């Protein structure tokens, strides 16, 4: 039996791995190398099956290879070609028709039909023709090698243009940071026989009650009254320290500002790639592990917090990696898997809240870290928890990108429904945690930053910092904990208060500063604290009066 494989037909292999490598090159911060390898193997395996299938029909190795390459190119360029056509319409002034609908299902179906017809037409012409197969094969080999080479060149450029750091410092950051954390002296003292469990629950993008009511028409007072009744302290004037998740969480979990961390350690910590390291391996977990704590975490569906090194990690079940999501979204598979992707994410949010509620006591003390990517978009819950599927493809896009592809009104409606549901759901979760704990735990529920209907991550002038940086921030500190808290506390001080109150940590409290920082260059931070109005005192008074 003759096989279709010959060195001369190398192009189908390269056309199969090109989409995987190019996605990695563009998103190298978010994607783990292991995920790249798995995706490349799967795509390669399926591509070889297609190749063998076509060969079995045509009995011509060159023709089979050429058709396989054309198919792979069209399949993985499906979305990018649609973008190209959409942009062409934009240039022709027809954007009103297309741009508003470019993500809607009907456009995607029409586009699939167009691509299918193109492929069928090409196949028909190609099989009838007497084209020189040797020459086509040679050109396809050259093109595919050039594409792969371009990916490697762009990855190389990314590596040497590391901003303020040298390439060597950039590459060795992870190890140096791990050493830095490992060498940090244990500062906490065991002041109780069994120290309390600590629940650190981040509800991504949960805004402050004045933002919720004034911009979104959502009344969060039931949750706040409930929490007050249970003995929580709700910091009603709280602000985020940073505008986006990666900066915020790496700061909060290391209870310091990133510019101070850089200055203190001599390690330049303000690169996206480094932020993931700062979140995975952080001072909070280190200090608590010194005291014998276990780290419990949850898969979040967000690459920075998806795989926190933990003693126990809970996951809602299988869901695609970021790499797989991007491959799906670029290909026609998006049409068939989008609803499943929404279901997976909904399942993850509900599973995490339920598991937190049911966790119950354990022998060892635990730091339980749950990063819940909600009410952050996608907006998947209506106000009573009913499933809502957006018309966009599955993504964690936010701010200007999301508002641009829908409308500000749609954003506000979607967020309002989702946050209303979560506000109710959190109440159930807290009731569960308190009921199932043998000794009172420490609980923190926090938005890492606020919502984003008026947020341009590149441009402060174009951003409503009051909306983006006023956060929900509530503490259950059993015993005398509340006396250390104040209305304007920001998350950078969260673990300083906890460690000082319960473990004699002796940490100095830091000034509460809110920084705006453009996504592309986290080092260009601007102190915007003074631009954020305080929570309306009149409303606060009426809230306090309504308490039983
Ligand atoms: Zn966030």
Q: How far is the CA of 272 from the centre of ligand 1 (A)?
A: 14
Q: How far is the CA of 479 from the centre of ligand 1 (A)?
A: 31
Q: How far is the CA of 24 from the centre of ligand 1 (A)?
A: 22
- DSSP per residue, 195-213: PPPEEEEEETT-B-HHHHH
Helices (H), 322-391: 322-330, 333-358
Q: How far is the CA of 392 from the centre of ligand 1 (A)?
A: 20
Q: What are phi and psi of 244, to 5 degrees?
A: -135, 160
Give residue-wise pLDDT tens across range 465-477: 999 999 999 999 9
pLDDT of residue 356: 97
Q: How far is the CA of 467 from the centre of ligand 1 (A)?
A: 13
**CA dist., res. 196 & res. 439, Å (int):** 7
Q: How far is the CA of 204 from the centre of ligand 1 (A)?
A: 5
Q: How far is the CA of 147 from the centre of ligand 1 (A)?
A: 35
Q: How far is the CA of 521 from the centre of ligand 1 (A)?
A: 17
Q: How far is the CA of 244 from the centre of ligand 1 (A)?
A: 5
**CA dist., res. 441 & res. 477, Å (int):** 8
Query: The tokens of 461 are what?
Result: 């002038």
Is the pLDDT at 536 greater than 80? The verdict is: no
- 113 and 104 Cβ atoms separated by less than 8 Å: no
**CA dist., res. 19 & res. 37, Å (int):** 12
- 425 and 461 Cβ atoms separated by less than 8 Å: no
Q: How far is the CA of 415 from the centre of ligand 1 (A)?
A: 14
| Exposure letters 298-314 (e unless 16+ CB within 10 A, then b) | bbbbbbbbbbbebeeeb
Question: Count of CB atoms within 10 A of residue 252's CB?
Answer: 26
Q: How far is the CA of 97 from the centre of ligand 1 (A)?
A: 33
Is the pLDDT at 317 greater than 90? The verdict is: no
- pTM, full prediction: 0.88
Is the pLDDT at 303 greater than 90? The verdict is: no
Is the pLDDT at 111 greater than 80? The verdict is: yes
Give residue-wise pLDDT tens across range 486-517: 999 999 999 999 999 999 999 999 999 999 98
Ramachandran category for residue 347: left, alpha or beta (phi over 0 → left; psi -120 to 50 → alpha):
alpha
**CA dist., res. 474 & res. 451, Å (int):** 17
**CA dist., res. 41 & res. 39, Å (int):** 5
- 336 and 167 Cβ atoms separated by less than 8 Å: no
Query: The tokens of 6 are what?
Result: 């010959």
Q: How far is the CA of 205 from the centre of ligand 1 (A)?
A: 5
pLDDT of residue 178: 94
Ramachandran category for residue 360: left, alpha or beta (phi over 0 → left; psi -120 to 50 → alpha):
left
Ramachandran category for residue 379: left, alpha or beta (phi over 0 → left; psi -120 to 50 → alpha):
beta
Q: How far is the CA of 124 from the centre of ligand 1 (A)?
A: 50
Identify the band that residue 103 occupies on the pLDDT scale cut at 50, 70 and 90.
Answer: low
Q: How far is the CA of 486 from the centre of ligand 1 (A)?
A: 23
pLDDT of residue 38: 92
Q: How far is the CA of 245 from the centre of ligand 1 (A)?
A: 4
Query: The tokens of 448 are what?
Result: 């890492």
Mean pLDDT of the chain: 89
Is the pLDDT at 548 greater than 60? The verdict is: no
Q: How far is the CA of 332 from the centre of ligand 1 (A)?
A: 29
Question: Count of CB atoms within 10 A of residue 486's CB?
Answer: 15
- DSSP per residue, 254-297: TTS-HHHHHHHHSS---SHHHHHHHHHS-HHHHHHHHTTPEEEE
Q: How far is the CA of 202 from the centre of ligand 1 (A)?
A: 9
Q: How far is the CA of 374 from the centre of ligand 1 (A)?
A: 9
Q: What is the mean pLDDT of residues 178-193?
A: 92
- DSSP per residue, 16-28: HHHHHHHHHHHTT
Helices (H), 129-220: 133-160, 167-182, 209-216
Is the pLDDT at 66 greater than 90? The verdict is: yes
- 477 and 501 Cβ atoms separated by less than 8 Å: yes
Q: How far is the CA of 398 from the centre of ligand 1 (A)?
A: 10
Q: How far is the CA of 456 from the centre of ligand 1 (A)?
A: 14
Residues with Cβ < 8 Å from 204, sequence gap 6 or more?
245, 302, 371, 372, 373, 374, 375, 376, 447, 448
Q: How far is the CA of 153 from the centre of ligand 1 (A)?
A: 32
Question: Count of CB atoms within 10 A of residue 482's CB?
Answer: 16
């Amino acid at each position: 039996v003759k096989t279709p494989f010959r060195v001369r037909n190398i192009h189908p292999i390269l056309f199969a791995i090109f989409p995987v490598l190019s996605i990695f090159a563009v998103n190298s911060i978010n994607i783990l190398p292991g995920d790249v390898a798995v995706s490349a193997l799967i795509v390669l395996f399926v591509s070889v099956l297609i190749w063998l299938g076509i060969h079995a029909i045509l009995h011509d190795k060159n023709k089979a290879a050429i058709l396989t390459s054309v198919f792979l190119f069209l399949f993985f360029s499906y979305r990018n070609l649609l973008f190209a056509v959409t942009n062409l319409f934009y240039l022709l002034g027809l954007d009103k028709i297309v741009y508003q609908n470019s993500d809607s299902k009907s456009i995607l179906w029409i586009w699939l039909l167009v691509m299918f017809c193109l492929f069928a037409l090409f196949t028909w012409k190609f099989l009838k023709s007497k084209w020189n197969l040797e020459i086509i094969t040679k050109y396809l080999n050259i093109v595919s090698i050039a594409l792969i080479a371009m990916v490697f060149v762009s990855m190389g450029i990314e590596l040497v243009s590391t901003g303020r750091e040298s390439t060597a410092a950039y590459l060795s950051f992870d190890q140096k940071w791990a050493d830095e954390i490992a060498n940090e002296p244990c500062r906490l003292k065991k002041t109780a026989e069994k120290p309390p469990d600590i629940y650190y629950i981040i509800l991504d993008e949960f805004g402050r009650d004045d933002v919720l009511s004034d911009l979104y028409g959502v009344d969060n007072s039931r949750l706040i009254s409930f929490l007050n009744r249970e003995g929580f302290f709700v910091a009603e004037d709280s602000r985020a320290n940073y505008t986006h998740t990666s900066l915020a969480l790496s700061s909060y979990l290391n209870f310091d500002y990133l510019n101070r961390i850089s200055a203190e350690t001599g390690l330049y910590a303000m690169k996206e790639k480094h932020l993931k390291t700062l979140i995975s391996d952080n001072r909070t977990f280190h200090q608590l592990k010194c005291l014998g704590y276990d780290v419990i975490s949850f898969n979040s569906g967000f690459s920075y917090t998806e795989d926190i090194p933990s003693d126990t990690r809970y996951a809602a079940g299988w869901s695609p990696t970021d790499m797989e999501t991007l491959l799906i979204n670029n290909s026609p598979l998006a049409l068939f898997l989008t609803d499943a992707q929404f279901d997976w994410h909904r399942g993850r949010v509900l599973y995490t809240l339920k598991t937190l509620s049911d966790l119950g006591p354990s022998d060892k003390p635990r730091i339980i870290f749950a990063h819940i990517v909600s009410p952050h978009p996608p907006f998947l819950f209506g106000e009573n928890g009913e499933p809502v599927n957006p018309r966009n493809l599955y993504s964690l896009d936010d701010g200007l990108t999301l508002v641009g592809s829908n409308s500000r009104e749609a954003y506000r409606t979607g967020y309002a429904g989702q946050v209303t549901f979560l506000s109710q759901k959190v109440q159930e979760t807290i009731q569960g945690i308190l009921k199932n704990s043998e000794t009172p735990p420490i609980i923190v529920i926090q938005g890492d930053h606020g919502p984003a209907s008026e947020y341009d991550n590149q441009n402060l002038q174009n951003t409503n910092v009051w909306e983006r940086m006023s956060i929900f921030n509530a503490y259950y500190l059993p015993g005398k904990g509340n006396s250390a808290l104040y209305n304007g506390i920001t998350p950078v001080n969260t673990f300083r208060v906890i460690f000082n109150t319960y473990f004699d940590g002796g940490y100095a409290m830091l000034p509460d500063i809110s920084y705006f920082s453009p996504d592309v260059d986290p080092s260009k931070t601007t102190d915007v604290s003074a631009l954020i109005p305080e929570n309306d005192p009149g409303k606060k008074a009426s809230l306090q009066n309504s308490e039983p």
